[in-house]
Amino acid sequence: MVCLGNICRSPIAEGILKYKISKAGLTWQVDSAGTNGYHIGEAPHRLSQKVSLKNGIDISHQRSRLFVPDDFDKFDKIYAMANGVIEEMKQLGKEKFDSSKVDLFMNELKPGTNLDILDPLYGPEADYHQVYDLIEKASEAMIKNHRQPKQLIPTL
């Protein structure tokens, strides 16, 4: 899960997905990163933490890290929160950039629309709630879209 600063949007996505994946009994590994590196080592934004916690998800332990080319080796899917983030990932990933692994996170909820989840950095708390709700819906859709259908065990 990738955004610009890795302090507002992608930490929420990491927190929600880890919670939902574990609840669904799946073993997928989730991480988040940012493309601009301005906040490396910092905890998520105060309002991202507050809104997540209001929804029962504690993201206070997360620390911002920079997106690196090796992320293309480590992960099967890399989701960007916005179109501009994909452009940044191309610059950072250089020859490792792999478009087949990259998608906009909103395309899981609304396929083919290429919508951004807007950066709430300078907005009020209400913007963080809006971002949280969108990420929550996209996370739910992502799990539904990618989980294997349950095997039916034939009875004798």
> What residues are annotated to the active site?
3, 9, 119
Query: What distance in Å separates the CA atoms of residue 57 and residue 13, rounded to the nearest whole number?
Result: 11
Which spans of this chain sit near ligand 4NP (rule: CB under 6 A)? 3-9, 34, 36, 38-39, 119, 121
**In terms of CB distance, is 36 or 130 closer to ligand 4NP?**
36
Residue nearest to ligand 4NP (CB): 5
End-to-end CA distance of the chain: 44
**In terms of CB distance, is 80 or 142 closer to ligand 4NP?**
80
**In terms of CB distance, is 10 or 107 closer to ligand 4NP?**
10
**In terms of CB distance, is 14 or 108 closer to ligand 4NP?**
14
- Residue 66 Cα distances to 7, 41, 60, 73, 116, angstroms: 11, 9, 18, 15, 20
Q: Return the half-sphere exposure (C-beta side, CA atoms, 13 A cut-off) of residue 125.
A: 7
Report, in Å, the least distance between residue 97 CB and ligand 4NP.
19
Provide the edge-to-edge strand list for the sheet that holds 102-104.
33-34, 2-3, 78-80, 102-104
Report, in Å, the least distance between residue 149 CB and ligand 4NP.
33
Report, in Å, the least distance between residue 7 CB and ligand 4NP.
4
Report, in Å, the least distance between residue 15 CB and ligand 4NP.
13
Query: What distance in Å separates the CA atoms of residue 79 and residue 114, rounded to the nearest whole number?
Result: 12
